[in-house]
Amino acid sequence: MTQLSQTYDPKSIETTQQQKWENDQRYKTNNEKTDKPTRYMLSMFPYPSGKLHMGHVRNYTISDVLSRYYRLKGYDVMQPMGWDAFGLPAENAAIANGVAPADWTFSNIDNMRTQLKSLGFSIDWSREFATCTPEYYRWEQWLFIQLFKKGLVYKKLATVNWDPVDNTVLANEQVVDGRGWRSGALVEKREIPMYYYKITTYADELLNDLDKLEGHWAPQVITMQRNWIGRSEGMELHFPYELDDEQKSLDVFTTRPDTFMGVTYVSIAPEHPLATHLAQNNSELQNFIAECKKGSVAEADVAKAEKLGMATGFFVKHPITQKDVPVWIANYVLMSYGSGAVMGVPSHDERDFEFANKYDIPIVQVITNDQATGDYDDKNWQDWYAVKGTCVNSGEFDGLNYQQVFDELLAKLEPQGLAKKTINFRLRDWGVSRQRYWGCPIPTINCEHCGTVPVPESDLPVILPTDVVPDGRGNPLNKMPEFTDVNCPECGKPAKRETDTFDTFMESSWYYARFASPNYNEGMIDKTNADKWLPVDQYVGGVEHAVLHLLYARFFHKLMRDEGLVNGDEPFANLLTQGMVLAGTFYRQNDDGSKTYYFAEEVSLSADGKTATLKADGQPVIIGKIEKMSKSKNNGIDPQATIDQYGADTVRLYTMFTAPADQTLEWVDDGLKGPFNFLKKVWRYAVDFNKNLQAQGKAQQDLVISQLNVKNLSKETKNLRRKTHETIAKLDDDLGNRLALNTPVSSLMELANELTAFEVKSSDDLLIANEALTSLLVLLQMFAPHMAEVLLENLGLNPLALSYPSVDKSALVQDSVTMVVQVNGKIRGKLEVAPNSDAEWLKAETKKLDGVVKFLTGDIVKEIVVPNKLVNIVVKG
């Protein structure tokens, strides 16, 4: 056997190891039915942007450590990888560089695959797929057609951002300050037909099934799901009015019918039919409505926008007081929520309050409660607004609480058709049409005679042409008759193929299920394999995907379940949302208010780290905040450069060790030295250890622990043995139960410290040191798989035959513990005693110690015993 060098050189081992794993298909999933338990480990698959970033490294290392853990524990593990390959960046790159999105995407995939492989992840690469291939997206088209037939997909008009210069629809993020990002033209709103998935049909189930997620889930993720679905119980109330001699009523949705008597106006959305009607002969209202239609269509922007309104001069009747209530058109009322109309209660609703103050609308307090102190006025009204209490200034409802008013109103108004109990969801149906080239073609044909006709299943897939370079002026598919011109499948006459493509959230909504049978040609999912692997046991990804992506995937799972493709109600049993990777920033303030950011390596820090200068000119730069790594802040650390410098094992170890997986990780370049030195130390020790063994003519089979007489071991030897088994038990609990990935690394470091300080004095000692070393290396395989495996093999062990070490409980028992003895909080001695010794006995023994006696100079006022740790005597005088 060739001797390993004493110095740890990751470059010389890592690629060799990776090659070896690839050659013997080490991490290929066992798909046969076995009696082993299975574990499906999945990290959110990447968008192939071209390069890995540190967020990826952290994400995939987490799932890799856990995958390796379950492999050691004897599970059949599946850890796949693929590419979320459709999306806007490819089109933008095409516009910038004139390359076809397909070429750009596939060459990025090649780069990133190489990078991922250089990190030594135990991925089953035979399952790899990119979502932009027809083999994948055809099943998305197939499912669309099934849902279309079932009525779970429908078409309706929707408002989009329209760039009148480039003649193209813009995504919300392509609208910058109300203008098209490329043309700079003022963006307009346009109504175009789009396809919708009826996710609202599943709203109740999506909400209720959150209770089934009993595994590891961050509570805020569940809350975000709940809020996004946004179930509100409330009441629909009608305000009667007369228009053109017709009796009608304006209905509003409210969650606070108890504030009904505080209504001082009613506001309607600019798109509300009543608004349209009232504006017919009123140019001022028409202009105002047109004004409201400008700007972004994103709901978040609507919420932030300044509240604008205009009185219509029209009145409706309050059904209880019979008084006239003015109708306003307001930009903060969404047409898509409730009935597109709101009863304005400025005294108890924040938005109404802002609106009423702006337009001098009366504010009448109608709720009082004991929690709020002082009198109700403009300044402290917030104390009241969210709180349910008792009605005041409310006529017949005075003194009643929320529920009582609710019931009274219903009893009174429902028989007249003026009130109804309702439930509203904030969740909207999912608009899936995008006017983009680089996406999955929507499989429909538009026929003048037959309308929308789905592409027959036998004609699937509708293949997206890939030799196309978009120029930013509309969807290039529209200029390709070879794509658009078809005969209608129903009447046979000439028709046009749909050129819209799916929202790219679609591909990421079911990839987790496809991984179970990635090459299956007979259908979307092969049920047998899906049953073996689903649900995903552990999903890992960024919290930014814990709202929409998660919701859509949960929705798709239910759709596929109802299609008979998968079992179970939920796609993911556990979700670990990892924290962001942050780094420090350095910048200079420019005259125009902008900032110029510098890379950390361009800057020198003062000794105390409080000031910094630019190396280039020696002039000061400002030390900015520690922020998420990003291109715009020049604070991204390139994983490749770090791997080249330290090796993948150190990078993996560092990303796991530096912070708990679900918290932010503050990247400090110097921080890599700690884990690197630790690996060097283990390397050196293991190489020396093996040399010594060989010198003694010993091999692993001569070092069998069962031959040992444990009772005769020295205290030091017992301590090392205990440390070994404590570490084995600790990691098992950390990784298997607590999902803690940072503390295992410190435990391994502690074990390595004890081992390297341990002196081998007897053959028994050698057995114990060997046990400690091999356990350390087996466990270290999860974090630093390359070097650990090389060292294990060097010791003559077969890595394929190794499993998670078992804990010898008897090794955990301590014969004695060392307790610290203090007087008035200062250490004055030590006691070597049996574990869990009696407290009274301990107090007595303490007072016999020479080191202690001389400090017992006054009255003993208190004696504190912390079991197995400490005795503290408090003296006074």
Residues of this chain that interact with Zn ion (CB under 5 A) are: 447, 449-450, 488, 490-491
Min dist CB 537 to ligand ANZ, Å, is 35
Contact window for ligand ANZ (CB under 6 A) among 330-338, 583-591, 735-743, 786-794? 330-338
Q: How far is the CB of 336 from ligand ANZ (least distance, A)?
A: 7
- Could you say which of 424, 435, 475, 846 contacts ligand ANZ (CB under 6 A)? 424
Those residues with Cβ within 8 angstroms of residue 697's Cβ, 6 or more apart along the chain or in another chain: none
Question: Any contact of residue 345 with ligand ANZ (CB under 6 A)?
Answer: yes
Which stretches of 244-361 are assigned E, i.e. beta strand?
Answer: 246-254, 265-268, 309-317, 324-330, 341-344
Alpha-carbon gap, residue 427 to 231, rounded angstroms: 8
- Shortest Cβ distance from residue 489 to Zn ion (Å)? 8
Nearer Cβ to ligand ANZ, position 10 or 338? 338
Least separation, in Å, of the C-beta of 418 and ligand ANZ?
16
82, 340, 476, 541: residue in contact with ligand ANZ (rule CB under 6 A): 340
Q: Give the sign of the dihedral formed by CA 525, CA 222, CA 429, CA 417.
A: positive
Nearest to ligand ANZ of 256, 557 (CB atom): 256
SS3 per-residue string spanning 730-749: HHHHHHHHHCCCCHHHHHHH
Biggest CA pair distance of the chain: 109
CA 382 to chain centre: 33
Our CB check for Zn ion shows the closer of 443 and 584 to be 443
Considering only 85, 199, 274, 343, the residue that binds ligand ANZ (CB under 6 A) is 343
Closer CB to Zn ion, 457 or 815, in the complex: 457
* 256 binds ligand ANZ per the rule CB under 6 A: yes
Q: Which residue has the tokens 């170890």?
A: 653
DSSP state of 231: E
Residues 6+ apart with CB under 8 A from 524: 139, 142, 143, 510, 513, 514, 560, 563, 565
Choose among 479, 511, 518, 483: nearest CA to 497.
Answer: 483
Q: How far apart are CA 276 and CA 266, in angstroms?
A: 16
> Residue 365: CB partners within 8 Å, gap ≥ 6?
262, 347, 348, 376, 381, 384, 392, 393
The nearer residue to ligand ANZ, 425 or 520, going by C-beta atoms, is 425
The CB-of-305 to ligand ANZ minimum distance in angstroms stands at 12
Q: Given the rule CB under 6 A, which of 334-342, 530-538, 550-558, 611-619 is the region that contacts ligand ANZ? A: 334-342
325 binds ligand ANZ (CB under 6 A): no
If we measure between CA atoms, which residue out of 789, 863, 774, 781 comes closest to residue 822?
Answer: 863
Distance CA 329, CA 422 (A): 24
* Residue from 39, 238, 348, 545 binding ligand ANZ (CB under 6 A): 348
Q: How many residues bind ligand ANZ (CB under 6 A)?
A: 18
Site membership for ligand ANZ, residue 255 (CB under 6 A): yes
Bridge partners of 430?
A: 197
Q: With CB cut-offs between 5 and 8 Å by kind, which of Zn ion, ligand ANZ, none does residue 491 bind? A: Zn ion
Taking CB under 6 A as the rule, does residue 552 contact ligand ANZ? no
The answer to whether 259 contacts ligand ANZ (rule: CB under 6 A) is: yes
Cβ distance to ligand ANZ smaller for residue 139 or 355 = 355
| Partner from ligand ANZ, Zn ion, none contacting 232, C-beta within 5 to 8 A by type | ligand ANZ
422 and 236 in contact (C-beta within 8 Å)?
Answer: yes
Shortest Å, Cβ 98 to ligand ANZ: 45
43 vs 267, which CB is nearer to ligand ANZ? 267
What is the chain's alpha carbon radius of gyration, rounded to the nearest angstrom? 34
Cα separation, 101 vs 93, in Å, equals 7
Q: Which residues of 481-509 are buried (b: 16+ CB within 10 A; e: fewer)?
A: eebbebebbeeeeebbbbbbbbbbbbbbb
Which region among 87-95, 335-343, 456-464, 774-782 touches ligand ANZ (by CB under 6 A)? Answer: 335-343
Q: Can you read off the two tokens belonging to residue 850? A: 């020479």
**Cis ω for the linkage preceding 805 (within 30 of 0):** no
Of the pair 326, 671, the CB lying nearest ligand ANZ is at 326
| SS3 category, 548 | helix
Q: What distance in Å separates the CA atoms of residue 394 and residue 378, rounded to the nearest whole number?
A: 19
DSSP lists the bridge partners of residue 267 as 328, 342
By CB under 6 A, what part of segment 696-735 binds ligand ANZ? none
CA distances from 52 to 56, 66, 75, 413, 638 (A): 6, 21, 29, 62, 8
The H or E element containing residue 627 is strand 627-628
Residue 342 near which of Zn ion, ligand ANZ, none (CB within 5-8 Å, type-dependent): ligand ANZ
Beta carbon nearer to Zn ion, 147 or 447: 447
The binder of 338, among Zn ion, ligand ANZ, none, by C-beta within 5 to 8 A per type, is: ligand ANZ
Least distance (Å) between residue 407 CB and Zn ion: 55
What are residue 495's DSSP bridge partners?
A: 486
Our finding on whether 264 is near ligand ANZ (CB under 6 A) is: no
Instruction: For residue 36, give the nearest of 68, 2, 70 by alpha carbon.
Output: 70
The minimum distance between CB 212 and ligand ANZ, in angstroms, equals: 25
Give the count of beta carbons closer than 10 Å to the beta carbon of residue 511.
21
> Nearest distance from residue 161's CB to ligand ANZ, in Å?
21
Rank residues 341 and 787 by Cβ distance to ligand ANZ and give the closer one.
341
Residue 541 contact, options Zn ion, ligand ANZ, none, Cβ 5-8 Å cut-off depending on partner type: none
Pairwise CA distance, residues 185 & 597, whole Å: 30
455's contact among ligand ANZ, Zn ion, none, with CB below 5 to 8 A by partner kind, is none
Which neighbouring-strand residues pair with 234? 422
450 binds, among Zn ion, ligand ANZ, none (CB under 5 to 8 A by kind): Zn ion
How far apart CA 175 and CA 178 sit, in angstroms, is 6
Q: Minimum CB separation from Zn ion for residue 168, in Å?
A: 28
Closest to ligand ANZ by CB, 334 or 760 = 334
Q: Which stretch binds ligand ANZ (CB under 6 A): 37-45, 138-146, 341-349, 776-784?
A: 341-349
CB of 319 to ligand ANZ, least distance (A): 15
Binds ligand ANZ by CB under 6 A, chosen from 46, 48, 338, 535: 338
The minimum distance between CB 447 and Zn ion, in angstroms, equals: 3
Q: Which is nearer to ligand ANZ, 125 or 381 (CB)?
A: 381
Per-position x/- string for 224-253, each x denoting binding to ligand ANZ as judged by CB under 6 A, each - no binding: ------x-x--------------------x
Compute how many other C-beta atoms are within 10 angstroms of the C-beta atom of residue 588: 14
Closer CB to ligand ANZ, residue 73 or residue 351?
351
Coil/strand/helix, residue 624: coil
The CA distance from 40 to 536, in Å, is 5
Helix (H, G, I), strand (E, B) or coil at 804: coil
* CB-nearer residue toward Zn ion: 450 or 710: 450
* Least distance (Å) between residue 494 CB and Zn ion: 9
**Smallest gap, in angstroms, from Cβ of residue 496 to Zn ion?**
11
Helices in 346-472 by DSSP H: which ranges? Answer: 350-359, 382-385, 402-413
What is the per-residue binding string for ligand ANZ in 365-404, x denoting contact by CB under 6 A? ----------------------------------------
CA atoms within 13 A on the CB side of 127: 25
The reply to whether omega before 461 is within 30° of 0 (cis) is yes
Identity of the residue, 334 or 875, whose beta carbon is nearer to ligand ANZ in the bound complex: 334
The binding site for ligand ANZ (CB under 6 A) comprises 230, 232, 253-256, 259, 333-334, 337-338, 340, 342-343, 345, 348-349, 424
